[in-house]
Structure 1
């Protein structure tokens, strides 16, 4: 039986991820976590208010809060707003803002865990081909007209495609009863390539050209068209993912010290990774089914958060969830207003932000590797 790790092991393991943390006198300065969470929670409230107020019809923030509190039964005063504004805030914008917060938080925490599991700062939620499977399912519904489930046909097909891609990746990566992270990633890349090719083939061979615009809009990601009846599944997936990851935060910290060190500290690395990959892929599949693939959120936010709170996942995970929610709400606000009355896919704006960040991250990682080699 392996001995339990001594006190402070997880903190030292978290501090061992030096390639991901800023260097200031050899050690990163940590902002108190309660202060960070309080500031981000306040920013989330402000962001949600802005998301409900800003649009083609501007609703004053005070009126937004009046509409919301009246709907919740906390305000018994006579409404001073029109029925049309109440419908815009409650039925059009509120589900969209909540979906943006849920998706941003979910992608951020999944990206955080994925980077720890693979020990690669460039890992992100779509690494295992889940988004390609979801795209194939959604495109099949759009192009072939398979709407047997009515308005939930597209998200249901997208989730089925994501789940199918996950099963294929695991079946091809499993050899001799074991799955290594290297084989899993390679299987994910290969499966994603094949599924993307099939998706392109479906689009090219369809006899109806007007579906191309709908397919392009979905594959770029967006929060439009969501209703209250479809919000429960992404919300449940987010709560499940955050709850499990917070419980497993210590084990994620152990992985930062290396597989051998984590094994000597009592962690069954192979089994832990397999379970976490399944969980993260399912959460990602649900989110992609609801919004389409929105890129770079799961890559950018974990690194931005680590610059502030350090590498300990007990601090990173809740901070990343709040930061991701705030980021995607504002990205959606920009998507609705930058080219108004035209609405841009929110995935376009996240890519415009994430592309330069990705290049900077690659250069920073290469520069630190050169520094280590010179030392």
Structure 2
């Protein structure tokens, strides 16, 4: 075991391997959430029919699904892409939140800390206000570009201010987010008639989920998740302090930059297709830590799986509670996430005292 492993895995007594029982339970919860998302809705499709239809779609497999053609269309053209995108969004926000919390060594850090949310909102607003006739992919692409641009602006502002630590980056993120929100508010006043559409996007939702959208974010999502998984051990090293990390041959500045870049890319992918969905990136990493300990080699993958299951279930609530209408996704995550987050904080405080 090298010095980095001793610091990140054993030096502080951290357990980084996920217990088989915990992993099994999380995978079962995710599987149940995915199946529930595919079966529940106005057009009720039996679970057995869903499983047969999914198996029939595999190469070299031919089964009698027992589903009517309209049910097949609902399953593969509406529900399956929506459920997969919901799982992707939840997993990306959760793993991005874990990455941000590891970089800033702050359990309250979330994926929107460096301006990704403000940039995405501004990008979507610009597209809605000035390019209302653009194709359906216009708003997601503009939100993606805005999220990446917001983070780059905050990062470069923090570097230009001469700060080398995380405090300067946080302050730069606050400043950039406030500025982008002000510009967004100004543009909204120019086109008041588009306010409903803008706010519908800001509050979050998966109504427009389709295969084209999923294909658009898939490559960037895969890269960001792979990079974050690969940096779990280095985040463990970073958690013991910059000086000790440097003594073990780890460049704290490089690790921060790479993890922030990957986390921001994951956040950009998520908000591009779902709007601004809160609490996932803060709450889910806390749950992962309580299940698997403090090592990011376990927290990152567990956060991804839990986040995916959580958002699929939240989206299921959003589209069934007031059916045939839909609740905004951000509203449901706030209702569910805020009390849960308070409970997690109180439990953490009791353990610390």
TM-score by length of 1: 0.87
Question: CA separation in 2, counterparts of 1:256 and 1:82?
Answer: 55
The answer to whether residue 287 in structure 2 is matched with residue 304 in structure 1 is: yes
Q: Find the counterpart in structure 2 of residue 107 from structure 1.
A: 93
Question: CA separation in 2, counterparts of 1:356 and 1:227?
Answer: 32
Question: CA separation in 1, counterparts of 2:220 and 2:199?
Answer: 26
Q: 1:142 aligned to 128, 138, 141, which one?
A: 128
TM-aligned CA distance change 1:51 to 1:179, over 3 Å: same
The answer to whether residue 189 in structure 2 is matched with residue 204 in structure 1 is: yes
Q: In 2, are the aligned partners of 1:297 and 1:354 still within 8 Å (CA)?
A: yes
Question: By how many angstroms is 1:190 displaced?
Answer: 0.8
Mapping 1:113-192, distance limit 5 Å: 113-148=99-134, 150-175=135-160, 179-192=164-177
TM-aligned CA distance change 1:177 to 1:194, over 3 Å: closer
Q: Find the counterpart in structure 2 of residue 267 from structure 1.
A: 250
TM-aligned CA distance change 1:76 to 1:130, over 3 Å: same
Mapping 1:32-43, distance limit 5 Å: 33-43=19-29
Question: By how many angstroms is 1:353 displaced?
Answer: 1.9
Mapping 1:243-258, distance limit 5 Å: 243-258=226-241
> How many residues in Structure 1 have an aligned counterpart in Structure 2?
353
Consecutive unaligned residues of structure 2, counting only runs of 5 or more, are: none
Question: CA separation in 1, counterparts of 2:198 and 2:204?
Answer: 10
Question: By how many angstroms is 1:32 displaced?
Answer: 5.2
Q: Find the counterpart in structure 2 of residue 347 from structure 1.
A: 330
Question: By how many angstroms is 1:158 displaced?
Answer: 0.7
TM-score by length of 2: 0.92
Q: In 2, are the aligned partners of 1:109 and 1:320 still within 8 Å (CA)?
A: yes
Question: CA separation in 2, counterparts of 1:347 and 1:15?
Answer: 38
Question: By how many angstroms is 1:337 displaced?
Answer: 0.9
Superposed CA offset, 1:19-64 (max 9, x none):
xxxxxxxxx9x99523222222222222111111000111110111
The two structures, once aligned, show a CA RMSD in angstroms of 2.4
Question: CA separation in 2, counterparts of 1:52 and 1:74?
Answer: 23
The answer to whether residue 1 in structure 2 is matched with residue 11 in structure 1 is: no
Question: By how many angstroms is 1:176 displaced?
Answer: 7.4
TM-aligned CA distance change 1:82 to 1:146, over 3 Å: same
